[in-house]
Amino acid sequence: MAVRPHVVVIGAGFGGLAAAKRLEDEAVDVTVIDRHNYHTFQPLLYQVATAGLNTADVGYAVRGLFRRQRRVFFRKAQVTGIDLDRRRVELRDLPDVPYDHLIVAAGSRCNTFGIPGADELAFPLYTLEEAVRLRNHVISLFEAASAEPGLVAEGVLTFVVVGGGPTGVEVAGALAELVEKVFADDFHDLDVHRSRIVLVEQGDRLLAAFDEHSGTYARAALERRGVEVRTGTAVESVAVDHVVLAGGEVLHTRCLVWAAGVQAGALAQALPVARGRGGRIVVHRDLSVPGYPDVYCVGDIADIDDGSGGRLPQLAQVAIQGGRHAAEQVLRTIERRPRADFHYLDKGTMATIGRRAAVADLPIGVRLRGMPAWLAWLLLHLVYLVGVRNRVSVFINWAWNYLTWDRGPRLILRPEALPHTPIPHSDAAPRTDQAGTSA
């Protein structure tokens, strides 16, 4: 009996799962490796952070996705390195995993661009742990201000969001609605209107990757919700109780959300391969790594030529299509067929600002704003969620929130203490290792 080729997929994010799903019915053995035993639907993490959804709504057990596939295996482990010459994936405290073909979809981590204090004190939003940590922190700040209202003047209820892309816009809008529509009733003993939400963007407008009118619409929608938008402004340094902006302005705050960009994780830095912008691994047009034809990189860890001299963006759709393409090239190699170049199909970009307010730029030149874009955004995210249970749960949560303005998971879950982001008279949750294995 012939031994089936062994394909190892590093990362159970969008790219990794897309690759594994494409291979699940083929004559290969597949091992998916991730440090978490679940897939995270990252586009909705901001809703977990702002008490709109539960963690289980945006997470799905990897083993559950492949429980009927006897040729797909899962290994919960931290990848520490790859021996490209010996074809082995090195794991922390576990034996190495050999491979015949390797698909690396190890994701990204927050890029703070060397700004003093940002790595230690900012709140990134790329994992479930980070979303829960931010939710804990936001609610705890309001609890602290309720107990001692004088703390409001010290910036306890000032929230600074850095980055005017889709994530920053969505976080700022969701925070504004959480404060105005939910906390105003929850904390009726506190004047929540003294809180501030400041969105800082270094560029001259929001949503730079969108049509200019979409960015203008997003700014107006945020400002109607009370968000202070600062474009053409950068963060120079971060301290425990304040942020210094370019030009010397000081914002007193105990909560800085970082949505200003990502970089490849530690795994990319450890490999002896060429790297491009953000430390991403440079790949051929077929997504293979130069010098290692049986190794492919997809998703946020890959630096992919868009065919016109630019680079493809770090988007879920790029990861999904890239994962499928890499899997196809593995099969082509096994079947001794010529490989094909990767061609990304742009399906458009979307961002939501809040209830009945969103923007959608579609590749056919259609620009949607307001209610139509918001409904399209809701439908698309329901469709792409993994698992029927998750879709039903998210739909029910959204419907309940729309009808009642009530957000369910307003819980402070703080299993450990972390002193570096102090809340007056309370503790804070620990920061997790940013080196991820998901794309």
Q: Of 334, 366, 381, which residue is a domain's last?
A: 334
265-303 pLDDT, tens digit per residue, is 889 988 999 999 999 999 999 999 999 999 999 999 999
Please tell me whether residues 253 and 272 are part of one structural domain. no
Structure tokens at 287: 């997504």
Q: Is residue 247 part of a domain?
A: yes
Q: Is residue 327 part of a domain?
A: yes
DSSP result, 422-439: -BTTB--PPPPP------
Count up the domains in the chain and report the number: 2
Task: Write down the number of H helices and E strands in the chain.
Answer: 12, 25
Beta-strand relationship, 6-10 and 29-34: parallel
Do residues 260 and 232 lie in contact, with contact meaning Cβ atoms separated by under 8 Å? Answer: no
Evaluate if residue 419 carries a pLDDT over 80. Answer: no
Please tell me whether residues 214 and 274 are part of one structural domain. no
- What CATH number is given to the structural domain containing 95? 3.50.50.60
Please tell me whether residues 376 and 234 are part of one structural domain. yes
Tell me, what's the pLDDT at 339?
97
Q: Is residue 46 part of a domain?
A: no
Q: Of 334, 365, 387, which residue is a domain's last?
A: 334
Q: Catalytic residue among 170, 177, 201, 328, which?
A: 170
Please tell me whether residues 370 and 309 are part of one structural domain. no
Structure tokens at 302: 């890959």
Please tell me whether residues 253 and 267 are part of one structural domain. no
Largest interatomic CA distance in the chain: 75
Please tell me whether residues 306 and 206 are part of one structural domain. no
Please tell me whether residues 124 and 250 are part of one structural domain. yes
Please tell me whether residues 180 and 297 are part of one structural domain. no
Please tell me whether residues 248 and 369 are part of one structural domain. yes
Q: Mean of the pLDDT values across residues 377-383?
A: 95
Q: Is residue 426 part of a domain?
A: no
Evaluate if residue 133 carries a pLDDT over 70. Answer: yes
> Residue 23 sits in which domain range?
6-35+77-110+263-334
Q: Of 334, 363, 378, which residue is a domain's last?
A: 334
- What CATH number is given to the structural domain containing 196? 3.50.50.100
Name the 3-class secondary structure at 354. strand
199-209 pLDDT, tens digit per residue, is 999 999 999 99
SS (H, E, C) 64-81: HHCCCCCCEEEEECCEEE
CA distances from residue 356 to 45, 173, 175, 338, 359 in whole angstroms, order as listed: 19, 12, 15, 48, 10
Active site residue 170: yes
Tell me, what's the pLDDT at 422?
47
Tell me, what's the pLDDT at 407?
80
Evaluate if residue 245 carries a pLDDT over 60. Answer: yes
Please tell me whether residues 82 and 158 are part of one structural domain. no
Please tell me whether residues 201 and 178 are part of one structural domain. yes
Q: Smallest Cα–Cα separation from 354: which of 233, 191, 174?
A: 174
Tell me, what's the pLDDT at 2?
65
Q: Is residue 419 part of a domain?
A: no
Q: Is residue 49 part of a domain?
A: no
Do residues 82 and 90 lie in contact, with contact meaning Cβ atoms separated by under 8 Å? Answer: yes
310-320 pLDDT, tens digit per residue, is 999 999 999 99
Please tell me whether residues 256 and 134 are part of one structural domain. yes
Q: Is residue 85 part of a domain?
A: yes
